[in-house]
Chains A and B, each alone.
Chain A
Amino acid sequence: MDLVNLQTDIVFWLVLAWLLPLAAFILELLIGSRFGKYAAVCAIGGIGGSFLCSLMACFLWLQTSVTSESPPESIATHSITEGIASTPDQMPAVNHSGDVYRFATFEEHHSENDVSSHHEAHDSAGHDSGSEHHEAPELLGMAGFERPLYSFATFGESSLGLSVYVDGLTIAMFVMVSFIATLIHVYAVGYMHDELHEFTDPEVVLSDGNPLTRPGRFPRFFTYFSLFTFSMLGLVIAGNIFQVFIFWELVGLCSYLLIGFYFERKTASTAANKAFIVNRVGDFGFLIGLMILWTSFSSFEFTEIFGQLRGPLDTETHRWGEMHYDQEVHGLILQNTETGTAQMDPETQNPRTVSYYLLVAAGLGIFCGCVGKSAQFPLHTWLPDAMEGPTPVSGLVHSATMVAAGVYLVGRFYPVFTPEVLLVIAYIGGITLMMAATIAIVATDIKRVLAYSTISQLGYMMLALGIGGWVAGLFHLLTHAFFKALLFLCSGSVIHATHTNEMPRMGGLRKKMPATFWTMFAGVIAISGLAIPGVLGFAGFYSKDEILANALAFGKVNPQHMILFWLPMIGAAITSFYMFRLLFMTFFGKPRDQHVYDHAHESPPVMWVPLAILAFFSTGAFICWVNPTASAGLDGKVPQILHDALPFVHSNTTVGLSGIQFASSDAVHAVHAQAGTLALIMAVGGAVFAYLFYGAGILNPSELQRQFSPIHRFLQNSWYFDELYDWLFVHPTHRVARWFSGLDRNGIDWLIDHSASFTVMVSRLNGAFDYKIVDGTVNLVAKLVYRLADWLRVIQTGQLRQYVLFIVVSTIGLFMAIIFIASK
């Protein structure tokens, strides 16, 4: 079939895109050190080829369009309604209860109603009030599909292996990751050129007082980079959560290797350890989630799990269905993945269920892994320290890709998360975003500001996903990748030129580094979410706008969670503030350190050309592929690709056990303008404040710092999280370790040392036993015999007459005895 061939082709290009960096890695591993400069060529070849393959796959994906073959809308809705309405009959009467409570009672929703879950198939009567960003009723691609690749092990019917899951999200992520990675590889050629020859590390001081001189490690850097891109793409393409976990760990490993690239520096090696260990803490929860999923669903495959939980993927709308909740057993009824009816337990004729609480636990477990990987509160402490790695690492790994893996997984695994879990995700995202934003205000290291900014923006994405804005959150992921990579690379350019990370030593670099300045300006505007609506928009504006619209709609539906709207709103203001602060402190004003200013120079083209390309993509027109005169961005092709991939839509009667409701997308559209204007005001306000403080110097920041110094100190020490974890975990561990060491030294070693004298004591006892008892017995016997003999000696008198008498008497006695016995 044509569709199947197309799918196979797409899988082929994606797998090729995934494996090319692996080939580059292996090549560099074997002969990289002899290549020297050309190891970079190998790596760039690998990732560049990967990008081209991703583009090819994207092109093939966009070739299918359901409108060309889609049936008229009414038939589409009819089939959906029919399909859903018939499930009550197919859903068996539960033996113990006739009352099966559903999250969404589809029976009363018919095609003519405003059913948000099928708004692609709306009748025209059901349209909402003239929202021109109502999606056109066409789907860009096909439904998500899965292909198995390789099986490690089979256990009865379930198997463990590698598989591929392709949908719009996969394609978008592939293109984004490979593109940004290619640009950063090129950038790194320029940035890391110090490593081509012998390198003197000023931060490592040997015992004789000199700095360390070591051979350069240029090829090794690209080896790690290739491994990282291979792992990241493997994570994105994964079709089962076990494969996700494999590559999750692998990206964690690459992050460790890359952060600790300058491993002779104590700070760098410690930071690498911290990153890996904190990630591992999150992975503990991930493993628990995996275990629960395996026991409940006996499969790790996405299609299997989603199908068992939500019924088969609807081929018309490409959405999964709703979960069916059985109130008696507090469980969700598992469905047969082909027919959409409930799985029946063969012994009792009841439908098989999975406990609701267990599913909540599984969702929280998987999310725990995401908390660790995406540096959310409370496992965020590793990311600021991860800036010890070279700047291309920060740009690729810790802004655009690895930390986005957590958000990607939440998006991918969305159908499994119950509304309670989603609320937890949203709150954690909200807390993270606010916390990181406040710390970024006072940070002075340019990369630290960007690190906290990354944490904050990841919080935005989690919040968006948690409140039901799947497309918004993942769209923000894509745009954020571009402008955060851009910001990091620009800061790397500045660091490369000034040889310092500290912003208080910079200033006035605008004239000396114009390309860096303009590209960074584009990035700052993008992340702040500034735009001139209707005329020019930058990518961050569109994506943040969408998140805030979702937040406001959610807050309106659940008024007790309105804080989930105010947090991102205030966060937008703070984001804008600290980003413009960064810009002003670095590029404007009088140079604060003349030496640094004198030596600053523009970066070579190999470094600023990628910056320019990224800046180009940070502008909204090109990432959204949108008509710039549109008022909001979701009409763009990129968001629409994501929208295709939306796994399911919360209908407006979706109610979690805790009573949370999600906003329908029409509700979101209704508040879009309101949220957007408010966001814009906030962002502009933040920028204005930053100008007042740092641009024009009208307000004095050090004065404010002095007046609020306790708060300042609190923020400067990043809310004392490191100290808290030190006190909570590290010191008790050390104490326990010291106790065990003492036990070992005093107890066990004492025993061993005294075992010699113990042996002597035992042997002495043994000897005494032998001497006294054994020999004594023998001697006693001898003595007794002697006494007896001595006593008997008396008889032998030597007297003849006596002997004769004895003879006679005994003879007589003998005779009498014989007579006596014989007479018996």
Chain B
Amino acid sequence: MTPIGLSPYLTVGAVLFVAGVVCMATKRNAVGILMGVELVLNAANLNFVAFNRFGKLGLDGQMFALFVIVLAAAEAAVALAIVLNFYNNHYTIDVDHGEQLHG
């Protein structure tokens, strides 16, 4: 078997990223948006690790990936808190109902 290069990893990362963005942009469910965020973060992670293996990053890529995982977790917690508050005010988590700040 030929060893696979950098590009497949980047491609997968990109696909994941796009999927995450599309999910963020289109989901009406607040939690679904969060899932999208997770996807994006993970795609970024994948990018980091790939470059770590195939580039000149050394251990920096992997370290950064660990940080990203932590931050993603923290951020998910905060975001869930926001969603909870959102639910307390609107009794739904449909983000389309949060349009009070329109102009």
Which residue on A lies nearest to B103, using beta carbons? Answer: A796
Q: Which of B21, B24, B27, B99 contacts A799, CB < 8 Å?
A: B99
Given known A-B contacts A793-B103, A796-B103, A808-B21, A801 and B98 have beta carbons under 8 A apart: no
Which of A797, A804, A805 is B99 in contact with, Cβ under 8 Å? A797
A793–B27 alpha-carbon span in the complex (Å):
24
Chain B residues near A799 (CB-CB < 8 A):
95-96, 99, 102
Give the contacts of B11-49 with A (CB-CB under 8 A): 21, 24-28, 33
Q: Which residue of B lies closest to A805 (CB)?
A: B25
| Chain A, Cβ-Cβ closest to B101 | A798
Give the CA-CA distance A795 to B103 in the complex, in Å.
Answer: 8
Whole-angstrom distance from the CB of B1 to the nearest CB of chain A? 34
User: Could you say which residues of chain B place their CB within 8 Å of the CB of A793?
Assistant: 103
| CB of B100 closer than 8 Å to a CB of A | yes
What's the count of A-B pairs with C-beta under 8 Å? 38
Q: Are A798 and B98 in contact (CB under 8 A)?
A: yes
Say whether B24 contacts A804, CB under 8 Å: yes
B26 (CB) vs chain A CBs: closest residue: A801
Q: How far is the CA of A804 from the CA of B103 in the complex (A)?
A: 17
For B25, the chain A residues whose CB sits under 8 A away are 801, 804-805, 808
- The answer to whether A800 touches B21, judged by C-beta atoms less than 8 angstroms apart, is no
Residues of B contacting A808 in the complex (Cβ-Cβ under 8 angstroms): 21, 24-25
- Residues in B with CB closer than 8 Å to A795 are 103
Which of B53-103 touch A at CB < 8 Å?
95-96, 98-103
Residues of B within 8 Å of A, CB-based: how many?
A: 15
CB contact between B102 and one of A796, A801, A804, A805 (< 8 Å): that residue: A796
Q: Which residues of A contact B95 (CB under 8 A)?
A: 799-801
Q: What's the Cα separation between A799 and B102 when bound, in Å?
A: 8
A804–B95 Cα distance when bound, in Å, is 12
Q: Which of A135-157 contact B (CB under 8 A)?
A: none
Most buried by B among A795, A804, A808: A804
CA distance A793 to B24 in the complex (A): 24
Q: How many residues of A contact B (CB 8 A)?
A: 12
**Chain B positions within 8 Å of A805 at CB level:** 25
Instruction: Give, as a whole number of angstroms, the nearest-CB distance from A646 to chain B.
Output: 124
SS class of chain A's interface: helix, strand, loop or mixed?
Answer: helix
A798 and B102 form a contact (CB under 8 A): yes
Given contacts A808-B21, A808-B25, contact A801 B101 (CB under 8 A): no
Q: How far is the CA of A77 from the CA of B20 in the complex (A)?
A: 152
- Asked whether, in the complex, the Cβ of B100 is within 8 Å of the Cβ of A798, the reply is yes
* A794–B33 alpha-carbon span in the complex (Å): 24
Interface string of A798-817 (1 = CB under 8 A from B): 11110011001000000000
**Minimum CB distance partner of B37 in chain A:** A804
CB contacts (< 8 Å) of A796 on chain B: these are: 101-103
Chain B contacts for A794, CB-based, 8 A: 103
Closest to B95 in A: A800
* Smallest CB gap from B27: residue in A: A801
Complex Cα–Cα for A804 and B96 (A): 13
A801 to chain B, nearest CB (A): 6
Alpha-carbon distance A628/B95, docked complex (angstroms): 158
Which one of A797, A798, A800 lies within 8 Å of B33 (CB-CB)?
A: A800
* Whole-angstrom CA separation of A794 from B102 in the bound complex: 9
Cα–Cα, bound, A799→B103 (Å) = 11
Q: Which residues of B contact A798 (CB under 8 A)?
A: 98-103
- How far apart are the CA atoms of A804 and B99 in the complex, in Å? 14
In the complex formed, the residue of A with least CB distance to B96 is A799
Rounded to whole angstroms, the CA-CA distance of A142 and B96 in the bound complex is: 142
The complex places the Cα of A801 from the Cα of B103 at a distance, in Å, of 16
Cβ distance B43 to chain A, nearest Cβ, rounded Å:
13
Q: Tell me the complex Cα distance, A399–B99, Å.
A: 126
Q: How far is the CA of A800 from the CA of B25 in the complex (A)?
A: 8
- Least CB distance from A180 to B in Å reads 120
Q: Please, which residues of chain A bring their CB within 8 A of the CB of B21?
A: 808
User: Using Cβ atoms and an 8 Å threshold, which residues of chain B touch A797?
Assistant: 99, 102-103
B29 CB to closest chain A CB, in angstroms? Answer: 11
Give the most central of A794, A798, A799, A808: most B CB within 10 Å: A798
Contact B99–A801 (Cβ < 8 Å): no
In the complex, which residues of chain A have a beta carbon less than 8 angstroms from the beta carbon of B28? 801
Q: Determine the chain B residues whose CB is within 8 A of the CB of A800 once the complex forms.
A: 33, 95-96, 98
A793 to B26 alpha-carbon distance, docked (Å): 23
Give residues of chain A (502-520) contacting chain B, Cβ–Cβ below 8 Å.
none
Closest to A803 in B: B25
Write out the residue numbers on chain B whose beta carbons fall within 8 Å of the beta carbon of A801. Answer: 24-28, 33, 95-96
B7 → chain A, closest Cβ, in Å?
18
A798 to B97, CA, bound (A): 9
A598 to B96 Cα, complex, angstroms? 144
Q: A808–B36 Cα gap in the complex (Å)?
A: 13
Cα distance A796–B100 in the bound complex, in angstroms: 10
B40 to chain A, nearest CB (A): 10
Residue of B nearest to A789 (CB): B103
Shortest A810–chain B CB gap in Å is 12
Give CA–CA (A800, B21) in the complex, Å. 13
Once the chains are docked, how many angstroms separate the CA of A805 from the CA of B36? 13
In the bound assembly, the distance between CA atoms of A808 and B100 in angstroms comes to 22
Measured CB to CB, the nearest residue on chain B to A802 is B25
Shortest CB-to-CB span from A305 to chain B, Å, is 108
**Can you name the residue of chain A whose Cβ is closest to the Cβ of B102?**
A798
Q: Which residue of B lies closest to A793 (CB)?
A: B103
Q: Which residue of B lies closest to A792 (CB)?
A: B103
Query: For residue B99, which residues in chain A have a CB less than 8 angstroms away from its CB?
Result: 797-799
Measured CA separation A795–B102 after assembly (Å): 9
Q: Which chain A positions have C-beta within 8 A of B102?
A: 796-799
A791 smallest CB distance to B (angstroms): 11
Could you tell me the distance between the alpha carbons of A625 and B27 in the complex, rounded to whole angstroms? 156
Q: Taking CB as reference atom, which chain B residue is nearest A808?
A: B21
Give the distance in Å from the alpha carbon of A606 to the alpha carbon of B48 in the complex. Answer: 152
Report the separation of the CA atoms of residues A688 and B83 in the bound assembly, to the nearest whole angstrom.
157
Which residues in window 760-801 of A have CB below 8 A to B? 793-801
Instruction: Tell me the minimal C-beta distance from A750 to chain B in angstroms.
Output: 65
Residue of A nearest to B36 (CB): A804
* Residues of chain A from 253 to 284 with CB closer than 8 A to chain B in the complex: none
Rounded to whole Å, the gap between the CB of B30 and the closest CB of chain A is 8
Which residues of chain A are within 8 angstroms of B101 by Cβ–Cβ distance? 796, 798
Bound: A199/B21 CA distance, A: 132
Residues in A whose Cβ lies below 8 Å from that of B100: 798
Known: A796-B103, A797-B103, A801-B33. 16 other contacts (CB 8 A): A796-B102, A797-B99, A797-B102, A798-B103, A799-B95, A799-B96, A799-B102, A800-B95, A800-B96, A800-B98, A801-B24, A801-B95, A804-B24, A804-B25, A804-B33, A808-B25
Top 10 nearest A-B pairs by Cβ distance? A798-B99, A798-B102, A796-B103, A793-B103, A800-B95, A805-B25, A798-B101, A804-B25, A804-B24, A808-B21
Chain B residues in contact with chain A, CB under 8 A? 21, 24-28, 33, 95-96, 98-103
A-B contact pairs, 16 of them (CB 8 A): A793-B103, A798-B98, A798-B100, A798-B102, A798-B103, A799-B95, A799-B96, A799-B102, A800-B96, A801-B27, A801-B33, A801-B95, A804-B25, A804-B33, A808-B21, A808-B25
